[in-house]
Each structure stands twice: as C-alpha cells, then as structure tokens.
Amino acid sequence: MSPGRGSARRAAALRAVLPTPAGHPARALDDPSFWASFDAHAPAHLRLATSLGAGLLAGVLPWLLRADLAKPDGRTRVLAATARLPGGAALLEVLKVVAAFAAFDDPAVQAHLREGPP
C-alpha cells in the first residue's frame, strides 16, 4: 500500500483496537518504516485482511455511524458494530495482531520490556 491515506487509515484502525496508554507515544503505528517492512514481508493474506479491516474500521463504519474513533464512545460503537458483522470479529483479531507487531517494533516499547518491571 502506498503511503498517505492508506497508512493513516491503518494506523487509526490499529489505535482503535490497541489504545495507547497515557504517556506513551506509540510512534510505530505511524512509522513509515514499520509499514514499509510490513508491506514488504507480511504474507498477502495478512496485508489484505489488514487493509480490509482498516477500511471498514477507520473508514466505512465511522462514516456510517457518524462516530469519531478518537473519542471513547465513538471507538466503542465502531468496535461493537465491527464485531457484529460476519467476519468482523476475525478482522478485529487480525488488526490486534498487527497492532501488537507495530507496538513491539517501537524502540521505546522494546527498551521498556528490556528494563523489566519496576
């Protein structure tokens, strides 16, 4: 997928399924190098499911429901509507996995994990 609208939509969808804890920037969700690596190395079916899920979760449903993914109520409504669709719950699970890949690609997250619990 080319950079721009598609990458922004994918990042918005990942933020919806894996909200960023307060005080953590979750840079990797917007990081062009993560998406370039994902596009180059992820299997075609994972790239397709991610694109379809992102289009549905961060494009079509917010528009249909007049919901804002950046607001907790809008996020909840869109996630619930997605889960009720045939295959929607599976798409959410795919997006959660990709969100975890992106989060763990973030150097700040890797450093935190290396430090261990406080």
* Cβ atoms of residues 51 and 95 within 8 Å: no
- pLDDT tens digits, one per residue of 45-95: 999 999 999 999 888 998 989 998 888 899 999 999 999 999 999 999 999
Identity of residue 11: A
Task: Record the pTM.
Answer: 0.81
